[in-house]
Structure 1
Amino acid sequence: MPLYELALIVRPMLKDELVNSLKRTGMLVLENGGLIRKVSSLGELPLPRILKIQEQKFTSGTYFFYEYDAPVASYDAILDTCRRDFDFIRSYVNPLKAIKPFECSLAEELLSPPYRKEVQKMVEVASTKTSKIQLFKQRSGMDYYPFHK
């Protein structure tokens, strides 16, 4: 199952109503076969521009992010339901790429460049490649190139 991020901008409301709308969204993800990894909030922030939705003007909203795993078939259902919900000003679903784990050791980073493994690999690759540039061959029989200044 791919990893998705659901970004929500919720209209200004009381805390109880906000909790209910977020629970409703969480249950929507779970009902569609998803697994919620993380829920984060940026708090209430002013919107970049005034948004008019259902004949109401909004100048601020509460930003929330859900990170969840879900089947590909549930993508449209989740997005469609969130866009129809009147509590949300905007909603976006973005697929996220899985982060590959990597190892970093300070000892390798502090070595001088000729001793690092990455630099040694680059030198090996550069030495195995042959130059594809053809050198100029004079076919005039003279020892010099007459048109060179």
Structure 2
Amino acid sequence: MKKNDKKRKLKYAISTVFFLIVTILDVFDLYNDIFNGRGHTIKDLIWLVILILATCGNYYLMKDVGTIDDDDERDAYVEMKTNSMMFNILNWIIIIASIVFSVWGVILYSRNGNETLAFTLIIIGAVLSAIWILTIIINFIVWAVNYHKN
């Protein structure tokens, strides 16, 4: 890998970690707003979606730096063996389900009489968000170990 590519990859890695930390803080702020009834939930939900997109964008830019478009047979074999495509699809399903459950819970919470179901949906969304954040952290740790081995 070229020296310039290493710098770019490090820059994207740092920005990914930064946006991931800000996303985690915004998730805590969102659920704090929901459970304390402060009324900033829509604004925090919009920021959460923007931060998740920024985190994903920087993460995938970091992974693409220094790769060649034409993969040889060995690269295709390694990709097939590790099933990285399935992992990426699972990450997207988890984050979309998290957003859907959270939005559904916020909508139900704003209506009277649906607090129990709303809290359940919000907690499910929070758990799915935590699982997504954990998978990104694990994948980042694996990338860092492989990066330092090479």
Q: Taking structure 1 as the reference length, what is the TM-score of the superposition?
A: 0.24
Task: Answer with 1 or 2: which has the greater Rg.
Answer: 1
Normalised to the residue count of structure 2, the TM-score between the two structures is 0.24
Please state which structure has a larger fraction of its residues in helix: 2
Q: Which has the higher strand share?
A: 1
